[in-house]
Structure 1
Amino acid sequence: MQITHLGHACLLLETGTARLLFDPGTLSAGFESLTDLDAVLVTHEHPDHVDAERLPALMAANPGARLVLDERTARQVSGIERALVAHPGDTLELGGERVVVLGGPHAPVYADVPDCPNLAFLVDDGAFLHPGDSFEVPEGDVEVLAAPVDGPWLKLAEAVDYVRAVGPSVAIAIHEGELTDVDKYAGMLGAFVGEGVRVLRPTPGEAIRI
């Protein structure tokens, strides 16, 4: 597979069968020019995961792509056809790839701050997992985990615990759009998760093969 990190939580996954874009949000850049997408998958409603202003143009440039999102996010995105409202437990066929929808609520942010639905997407029977803003641990093995490293709902120790719980072969550091020293956080994650997990911090826009 080939993965391109487009900043923060936005990743382009190319499996050889499908081109899947995850979480094109306000802290991400470069997804606007993408074409030939099979699907755009949104984990939840927060703007850093879905840019409602840039999304319509992205979908117009990709007339064959499905837009996959939860019910609450769907109500906030208007004027876009081909939207598919997904729920945890659904199994989708997107571009010939099998995508299992997992998830529940967004990880708690603080005290009485209200949560929202958060979908997690498991591609090709564990080849790739994008958890959104959650600590979703699927059954079975995961080869590549998109691992959040920063956020108001997250501290580094929790990121380490999450990667250890999932136990992927590769963890790609994401959700770093507000950090000033991403390499430091990715480096500490790599140091603490233990042997057997390769932590990658791709340069935004860089395509990596796994």
Structure 2
Amino acid sequence: MDAFAINGVKIRLMAQLTVRGFEIHKGFLSPSKQRALIQTLRSVLQAAPLFSPEVPGGGQMSVRMTSAGSFGWFSDKSGYRYVACHPSGKPWPAIPSEVLSIWTALVGGDRLPDCCLFNYYGEGARMGLHQDKDEADFSYPVVSISLGDDGLLRLGGTTRKEKTESLWLSSGDVVVMGGAARLAYHGVDRIRFKSSRLLPKGGRVNLTMRVVT
């Protein structure tokens, strides 16, 4: 990301890329906004601590997760679905306004997301190729926010057989998956552990906002 100054005021330039229909907004969040957002998310984690979901085929995901909003994404031996409560039995906390403002800036405010899924990638964590298809209405995009360590995003098509390509996402990048990319396969191959200083212990946080109902 480049910058220049006008009358002594530093102006930041953000790059927007479109890859296979994925809108990638590089450097959408400034470092100060990233730090503020991490502080905001601490209250979400206190109300709904991270957990390691089971997968239908057995075993657990390598990422830890939680959610905010009316619904949270959940997985166990019964399958993938949205649920109204955290595994503790408590309702999910509300989506912070600071997170919702990113949605409205990129999508608009006529319909706000029902869920903000919080994924934490520690050292060695990854996410296999998958589609986000547990929602009832695919006309709204999924908005994905990257915080912390770099993550290698793999992008595919609407079938597993299509070729894929990969690109690195950095802290502050935001991806909008809508239109042709809404049901595209995607995943995270790996992270560059401790490539960012945003999280004191390292790791990557990925927030994804979705319209569920």
If the TM-score is normalised by the length of the shorter chain, which range does it land in?
A: under 0.3
Structure richer in strand, relative to its length = 2
Larger Rg: 2
Structure richer in helix, relative to its length = 1
TM-score (norm 1): 0.28
TM-score (norm 2): 0.27
